[in-house]
Structure 1
Amino acid sequence: CRSRWGCPSLCIQPRGHRFSTNLLLSKTPHRILAQTNDKIEILCELKTEHAGVYWYRWSQEKQNFEFLVFSNPFGKAIYGTNISEDKFSVPGGSSRTSYSLHVCNLHASDNGTYYCSISQSSQLLLGSGTQLSVVDVLPPPPKTTQAPLSKKPVRCVTKSKGADQKGACSPLVWVPLATSVLVLLLSLVPTAHRLHRLRRRLWLRMHRQ
């Protein structure tokens, strides 16, 4: 990730410091899921200007809080014991409130929670921490299932006074209705025939007189 920098050995591990969390620092993002052999960037934002930050890693598996590197705004770095410069780099920038840590060639051994910190009044003030999980294969993105389009049955709507009558197209409605109308018509045929004959008889009687 970067070239090698020389630095005095007395700067490698801060001594006589106590650790405490503080709202002066924030880390982004809070969680990172990365693939083996990939690389990541962790950003540390300070609320006030500072001449540099320390980077630490907490390993849940090893139960170890390990010093990684100290970086200043110019990108010069002081590495911890047995920490590879090929894996960790701290690019420089013009801002004294924004620092970043690059981690390359990721493996499962890099899993842990990464903290940036500043030294203030014999204390190391820690940021919120970024949890890194390295896997061989990234899980597929969640599928967005689209609800199937419901096929609504065709409905006839006939408006009446004050209300809507729906479902007039249903066979359960018009088949019995048509049957009733047909039966009614058939029953009226003899009656109509009788009335016609009666009217004819009355007409003949009136003309005979």
Structure 2
Amino acid sequence: MLAAAGTLAAEQGLHALTLDKVAERAGLTKGALQYHFKSRQGLIEALYEQVISEAQSRMDAHRRADQGEPEGAPARAYLRGADDDTQGVGRIDVLRVLTAHSLSDATVRQRYLPVLREWMTPDPLPLAWAARAMICRLAADGLWISRLIGYDDVIGDELMAEIRRQLEQLTTSQGAGTQLDDGRAQS
């Protein structure tokens, strides 16, 4: 049901998402769909919940697989999760529609703001290192948005790989050279 809703939203936009159309796409009766989703709004909220859950799962998996130093691991997980290509082209289309919707609907933004704030919580590190880790998160958001907009391919694979490598390096203690707690580089 959610796959049918996501595909329909990606193809025609969220405005075209009706219970009748989703039921037809899923090969169900409207009543069967309404058993699970009482309203169009409930269906849209379920799509958001699914996307957030998938993003959290990706970040958790990257965090568990991280072989680097524990400090900076949350930022690396965020960076890797945002850059995870396992989402597939169809999923990117769904994300594009939901992101556009969330940017134009203050109620949606407010509902999911606590989750986003949690993901953006600064790492408990010395100031200069915490700042580098936050720069990585913000850059990851930029890379993610560039993929949604569809212009990430102009960067080129080699340059993109180097950008990712440098961002990952910034999440480590050696990321920008050894730093003193006040942010000054040691000589």
What band does the TM-score fall into relative to the shorter chain? under 0.3
TM-score with structure 2 length normalisation?
A: 0.21
TM-score with structure 1 length normalisation?
A: 0.20
Say which structure is richer in strand. Answer: 1
Say which structure is richer in helix. Answer: 2
